[in-house]
Amino acid sequence: MNPAYDFTGQVAFVTGASSGMGLATAHAFAEAGAAVGLADIDEGAVCAAAQELTDAGHRALALVCDVSDEDQVASAVDRTVETFGRLDMAYNNAGIMPPPTDAADESAAQFDRVQAVNLRGTWAAMKHELRHMRDQGSGAIVNCSSLGGLVGNPGRAAYHATKHGVLGLTKSAALEYGSRGVRINAVCPGTIATPMVEAMAAQGELDTEQAEAAQAIDRLGTAEEIAQAVLWLCSPGSSYVTGVALPVDGGYTAQ
Ligand SMILES: NC(=O)c1ccc[n+]([C@@H]2O[C@H](COP(=O)([O-])OP(=O)(O)OC[C@H]3O[C@@H](n4cnc5c(N)ncnc54)[C@H](O)[C@@H]3O)[C@@H](O)[C@H]2O)c1
């Protein structure tokens, strides 16, 4: 599913790279010829993911990193550049989904953790990627928002606040860097069949049949379909695209 891109000689960095959309995107970057730094909080999974790519003949580096810790993010980005020599593309994807909570009952601890991972983690990754891309005068960054960055959902106020925040980061930084050779965009996935959504269904937080019927294309999306959008946003094919929030949601937000 990756016929169109040639990123030979380029370097990509992906957070949340050992599962779901991050893993699919790391694979897609590697299959298109890029060297990939895979960052994730799950040490066993990220080492296995990088090893699988290396075994298949790709250049890949496992980076154990909690994106809520800026020092760990800086170190992961810098190690990618030290290892592979440059940084051309990044997908800032790591995220968590707290259980649905009545807005009147949300704990400060839950609010702070989802902000720290989803919003502050994206901020930290973008910041440290830009330090290299600023010096190079080139680069493409894709931040992971959500349909939750475009609309609300009962019980999900804190999560949706993070995903709206990701779009504010994306648009402002895109304006700042447009004339400096760096494009910054966001993808807004709909409901995608990943371990995150499988866990929501298993916990009774999501009715899969209802979710499938909720958009014009009446099925869940796949992680590979998000990866393809990310690769396009990193490719020369999107050379005049910056600051967009691209829904990849089967039409959910068209309603
Ligand atoms: N699945 C969906 O339907 C959906 C829809 C819209 C947006 N999203 C967003 O897409 C992104 C990826 O989601 P997914 O569905 O692939 O989820 P997933 O749970 O399959 O994968 C998330 C990955 O992020 C990692 N991670 C979690 N916390 C981390 C941290 N603090 N530091 C570093 N890594 C961390 C996990 O270990 C995991 O590998 C998330 O930002 C999520 O909010 C998902």
Residue 177 annotated as catalytic: no
Give the distance (Å) from ligand 1 centre to CA of residue 179.
31
Q: Which amino acid is residue 203, in one-letter code?
A: Q
The pLDDT tens digits for 213-248 are: 999 999 999 999 999 999 999 999 999 999 999 999
Residue 218: per-residue pLDDT: 95
Cα–Cα distance, 218 to 195 (Å, whole number): 20
With 70 as the cut, is the pLDDT of residue 99 above it?
A: yes
Give me the mean pLDDT over the 113-137 stretch: 98
The closest residue, in CA terms, to atom 25 on ligand 1 is 16
Question: Is 65 touching ligand 1 by the criterion CB < 6 Å?
Answer: yes
What's the CA-to-centroid distance between 95 and ligand 1, angstroms?
4
Looking at residue 148, what DSSP letter applies? G
E strand or H helix that includes residue 174? helix 157-177
pLDDT(113) > 80: yes
Give the model's pLDDT for residue 224.
98
Question: What pLDDT score does 2 carry?
Answer: 47
Catalytic-role residue among 159, 177, 240, 252? 159
- pLDDT, tens only, 50-90: 999 999 999 999 999 999 999 999 999 999 999 999 999 99
Q: Specify the ligand 1 atom closest to the Cα of 118.
A: 41
- In the chain, the percentage of residues whose pLDDT exceeds 70 is 99
Residue 149 has pLDDT above 80, yes or no: yes
Q: What is the pLDDT of residue 204?
A: 94
Q: Please determine, for residue 3, whether its predicted confidence score (pLDDT) is greater than 80.
A: no
Distance CA 245, CA 170 (A): 8
Q: What is the pLDDT averaged over residues 141-165?
A: 98
Ligand 1 pocket residue status of 94, Cβ below 6 Å:
yes
Asked if residue 250 has pLDDT above 50, the reply is: yes
CA distance 180 to 138: 7
Q: What is the pLDDT of residue 85?
A: 98
Whether 192 has a pLDDT exceeding 80, the answer reads yes
Quick one: pLDDT band at residue 1, thresholds 50, 70, 90? low
| Strand ranges for 163-217 from DSSP E | 182-189
Exposure letters 157-181 (e unless 16+ CB within 10 A, then b): bbbbbbbbbbbebbbebbeebeeee
Domains present along the chain, CATH in parentheses:
11-248 (3.40.50.720)
Encoded tokens for 17: 């790279």
Q: Evaluate: CB of 74 within 6 angstroms of ligand 1.
A: no
Instruction: Tell me, using a 6 A CB cutoff, whether residue 192 lines ligand 1.
Output: yes
